[in-house]
């Protein structure tokens, strides 16, 4: 098992390994003796596979576990679900020393993390990430939140987890499409900051690859470095948004039918159209069966970017890659995006 430290104000570890889920209670307990009650949050695809294993391990360590299972999918990532979680926490008299455990992909980790961030002005959250995307990105770094109909992740808070568990064995149950979505974020890390990772990815990584622990751990290390330098997303962390400015618009305009990882793949390819790395990026996206084209028009894109939560004043900062492993940030007016397409 690999242990990666995220050295922020409330530092924590990310565990990456195999067979970790069945001992999740033990890993949580080893750093937390105060918690008595746990709200275990999961969704309808993940719960039938893994909820009982997680619950048994938590109860074995003496935790009193309450469950909250919501309908899987981005359409559930809203304030109504958060209200329901808060009411369960309050109704079961959770206190400041109790905790939320998220068991799922990015929707679950973002939403459970947000409920934890605002209940009693903040209780602990433990993230057990079950998708590749959540393991390499969503569960690490403390971004939590929900969508509004006006846009993705428009309501949220920075709330670092107390521990993140990435059990790569859980990735075996992902569909090829959901695994590929996570690979879009892995490819992002390679292009923005790690040429060696790019070389490694040229040999197709699959759910059964023996080096999956190394790949996930490398991405977590890269993310930890960025989050340590810029926890609150005012500078370096914005490089992690490579492909996301356009991706979020594509995702929302599709009514969330185009999943996040696919939208990010398209977003990276579109913003890189005039870059030297464009061909190499498209080749890699093809290798992982990821899309790299979208019929969105420049005007639709600009309209969508106008409501991006990362807009500051009238401007938006975009992440650009002109050389593999190096990312630059550029602050532009939304209309200037046309120049990149
Ligand atoms: N997902 C990008 C970030 O955590 O900053």
* pLDDT tens for each residue of 18-34: 999 999 999 999 999 89
All structural domains of the chain, each given as residue ranges with its CATH number in brackets, are 2-173 (3.40.50.1970), 176-340 (1.20.1090.10)
**At 120, is the pLDDT very low, low, confident or very high (cuts 50, 70, 90)?**
very high
Residues lining ligand 1, judged by CB closer than 6 Å?
A: 137, 141, 143, 233, 237, 240
Residue nearest to ligand 1 atom 2, measured at CA: 240
Give the position, in ligand 1's atom list, of the atom nearest the Cα of 237: 5
Total number of residues shown for the chain: 341
Q: By C-alpha distance, which of 116, 74, 124 is closest to 97?
A: 124
Give the position, in ligand 1's atom list, of the atom nearest the Cα of 241: 2
Residues 302-323: pLDDT tens digits? 999 987 777 788 899 999 999 9
* Three-state secondary structure of 250-264: HHHHCCCCCCHHHHH
* Three-state secondary structure of 143-167: EEEEEECCEEEEEEEECCCCEEEEE
Amino acid 70: pLDDT: 98
Residues 259-291: pLDDT tens digits? 999 999 999 999 999 999 999 999 999 999 999
Residue nearest to ligand 1 atom 3, measured at CA: 240
Rounded to the nearest integer, the mean pLDDT of the chain is: 96
Res. 198: pLDDT tops 80: yes
C-alpha–C-alpha distance, residues 109 and 243, integer Å? 21
**At 152, is the pLDDT very low, low, confident or very high (cuts 50, 70, 90)?**
confident
Phi, psi angles (nearest 5°) of residue 202: -65, -25
Query: Can you give the pTM of this predicted structure?
Result: 0.96
C-alpha radius of gyration, the chain, whole number: 19
For residue 62, how far is its CA from the centre of ligand 1 (angstroms)? Answer: 34
Query: In sequence order, what are the residues at sequence separation of 6 or more whose Cβ sits closer than 8 angstroms to the Cβ of residue 199?
Result: none
For residue 91, how far is its CA from the centre of ligand 1 (angstroms)? Answer: 32
Q: Do 292 and 265 form a contact (C-beta atoms < 8 A)? A: yes
Give the position, in ligand 1's atom list, of the atom nearest the Cα of 141: 4
Q: Which of 131, 157, 225, 237 to mutate to test the pocket of ligand 1 (most atoms within 8 A of CB)?
A: 237
For residue 255, how far is its CA from the centre of ligand 1 (angstroms)? Answer: 22
Strands (E), the chain: 2-6, 12-17, 37-43, 64-70, 99-104, 124-129, 143-148, 151-158, 163-167, 316-323, 326-332
For 52-78, what is the mean pLDDT?
A: 97
C-alpha–C-alpha distance, residues 22 and 97, integer Å? 24
């Amino acid at each position: 098992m690999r242990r990666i430290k995220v050295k922020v104000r409330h530092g924590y570890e990310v565990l990456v390994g195999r067979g970790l889920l069945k001992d999740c209670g033990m890993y949580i307990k080893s750093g937390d003796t105060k918690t008595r009650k746990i709200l275990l949050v999961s969704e309808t695809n993940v719960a039938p596979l893994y909820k009982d294993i997680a619950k048994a391990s938590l109860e074995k360590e003496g935790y009193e576990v309450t469950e909250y299972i919501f309908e899987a999918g981005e359409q559930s990532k809203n304030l109504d679900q958060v209200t329901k979680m808060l009411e369960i926490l309050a109704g079961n008299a959770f206190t400041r020393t109790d905790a939320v455990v998220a068991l799922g992909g990015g929707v679950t980790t973002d939403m459970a993390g947000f409920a934890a961030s605002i209940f009693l002005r903040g209780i602990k959250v433990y993230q057990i990430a079950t998708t590749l995307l959540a393991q390499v990105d969503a569960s690490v770094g403390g971004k939590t939140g929900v969508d509004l109909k006006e846009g993705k992740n428009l309501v949220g808070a920075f709330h670092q987890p107390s521990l993140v568990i990435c059990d790569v064995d859980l990735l075996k149950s992902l569909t090829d499409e959901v695994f590929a979505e996570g690979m879009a974020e892995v490819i992002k890390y390679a292009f923005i900051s790690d040429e060696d990772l790019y070389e490694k990815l040229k040999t197709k990584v699959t759910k059964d690859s023996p080096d999956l622990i190394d790949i996930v751990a490398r991405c977590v290390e890269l993310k930890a470095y960025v989050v340590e330098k810029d926890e609150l997303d005012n500078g370096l962390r914005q490089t992690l948004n490579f492909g996301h400015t356009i991706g979020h618009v594509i995702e929302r305009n599709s009514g969330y039918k185009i999943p996040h990882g696919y939208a990010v793949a398209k977003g990276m390819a579109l913003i890189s159209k005039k870059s030297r790395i464009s061909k190499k990026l498209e080749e890699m996206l093809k290798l992982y069966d990821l899309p790299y084209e979208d019929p969105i028009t420049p005007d639709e894109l600009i309209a969508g970017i106008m409501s991006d939560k990362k807009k500051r004043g009238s401007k938006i900062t975009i992440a650009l890659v002109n050389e593999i492993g190096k990312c630059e940030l550029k602050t532009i007016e939304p209309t200037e995006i046309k120049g990149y397409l």
